[in-house]
């Protein structure tokens, strides 16, 4: 199935994102009551993304890369920032092809970005004038999306 | 780099596999390094270490340029008879000579598995006369292996 421009836009906007300070075991260091901390395994992150796709009316099927019309990229890592503070960075994005054949997704701020096969680099904002460029572990899944009948 | 048949077989027989019986509370019986089950990226890291030990380096790449696929699989709870098991591992696939299929080899250099894109099933022998095909969750990483 070829996705329409409208469907591509809808799919590109699907994402999951969580970022929090962790202790030495990778668990939230300062849990705040009422705040949701996503602590998911790799397969659970992908399942969350697939659930979002299914809610929008798509069937998701794992296929060979040349037949895919979407790439689900999930990331999950613990990284150290200043003063030995460790943060969990976890989430997922959906990439669809643009008119030039590049895989494109959207950040949580709505900025489009291209799939980099070799790495996944994120810009994490602490303040308006302070951000952190960080590389995180990732897995890609090539899928074929079709509209549910 | 195009891999020779010898190298394809050497890489294609790299595999990791563990099967743990689970306690009623879901914890695995047996001790793994770090005293917990490895995550998918840790299993992939172990495969990359095995490749490095054999003198190869690998980098993640677009699928069309890959000469190897590292598949990491996990089934965290499979019930056989009355016991529950956790099965985790990894397989390295290389392109079959003269074909477009991704295959894995055994230690005798025979093709034992063709990669399926839609699912992953492993054969586990719980008792000598009783093997079972088990479906698992999986993640693929397309890599370019070079010496």
Q: Tell me the ipTM for this assembly.
A: 0.90
- Chain A contacts of B74, Cβ < 8 Å? 43
Verify whether the Cβ–Cβ distance B40 to A41 is below 8 Å. Answer: yes
SS3 content of chain A, % helix, strand, coil (to 5): 20, 45, 35
- What are the C-alpha distances in Å from A34 to residues A20, A31, B99? 14, 9, 55
Q: Which domain holds residue B109?
A: 5-146
In this model, does residue B1 exceed pLDDT 70?
no
Which residue is listed with tokens 């010898």? B6
Domain ranges, residue A89? 5-147
Instruction: Mark which residues 82-121 of A lie under 8 Å from B by CB.
Output: 117-119
Q: What is the mean pLDDT of residues B77-85?
A: 83
Evaluate if residue B126 carries a pLDDT over 80. no
Which of B26, B43, B60 best tests the A interface by mutation, with the highest count of A CBs <10 A? B60
Is residue B105 pLDDT above 80, yes or no? Answer: yes
Please check the confidence at residue A132 and state whether its pLDDT lies above 80. Answer: yes
Of B61, B119, B139, the CB nearest to A118: B61
Which pLDDT band, with edges at 50, 70 and 90, does B85 fall under? confident
Phi and psi at A5, nearest 5°, equal -60, -35
Contact B40 A63 (CB under 8 A): no
**Count of structural domains within chain A:** 1
Number of domains forming the structure of chain B = 1
Q: Which of B88, B110, B114, B112 is nearest to B99 (CA)?
A: B114
Tell me what pLDDT residue B56 has.
95
Would the CB atoms of B60 and A64 count as touching at under 8 Å?
A: no
Residue B106's φ and ψ, nearest 5 degrees, are -95, -175
């Amino acid at each position: 199935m070829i996705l329409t421009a409208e469907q591509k836009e809808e799919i590109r906007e699907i994402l999951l994102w969580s970022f929090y300070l962790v202790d030495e075991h990778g668990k939230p260091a300062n849990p705040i009551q009422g705040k949701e901390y996503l602590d998911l395994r790799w397969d659970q992150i992908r399942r969350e993304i697939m659930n979002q796709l299914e809610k929008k009316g798509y069937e998701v099927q794992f296929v060979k890369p040349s037949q895919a019309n979407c790439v689900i990229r999930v990331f999950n890592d613990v990284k150290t920032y200043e003063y030995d503070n460790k943060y969990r960075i976890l989430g997922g994005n959906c990439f669809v092809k643009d008119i030039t054949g590049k895989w494109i997704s959207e950040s949580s701020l709505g900025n489009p970005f291209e799939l980099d096969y070799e790495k996944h680099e994120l810009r994490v904002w602490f303040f308006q004038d302070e951000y952190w460029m960080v590389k995180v572990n990732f897995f890609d899944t090539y899928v074929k999306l079709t509209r549910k009948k | 780099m195009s891999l020779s048949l010898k190298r394809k077989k050497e890489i294609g027989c790299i595999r990791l596999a563990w099967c743990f019986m689970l306690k009623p509370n879901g914890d695995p019986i047996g001790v793994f390094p770090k005293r917990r089950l490895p995550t998918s990226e840790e299993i992939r890291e172990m495969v990359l270490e095995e490749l490095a030990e054999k003198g190869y380096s690998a980098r993640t790449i677009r699928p069309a340029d890959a000469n190897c696929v590292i598949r990491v699989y996990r089934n965290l709870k499979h019930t056989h008879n009355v016991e529950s098991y956790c099965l985790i591992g990894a397989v390295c696939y290389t392109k079959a000579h003269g074909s477009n299929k991704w295959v894995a080899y055994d230690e005798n250099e025979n093709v034992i598995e063709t990669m399926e894109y839609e699912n992953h099933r492993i054969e586990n022998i719980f008792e000598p006369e009783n093997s079972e095909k088990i479906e698992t969750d999986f993640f693929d990483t397309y890599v370019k292996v070079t010496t």
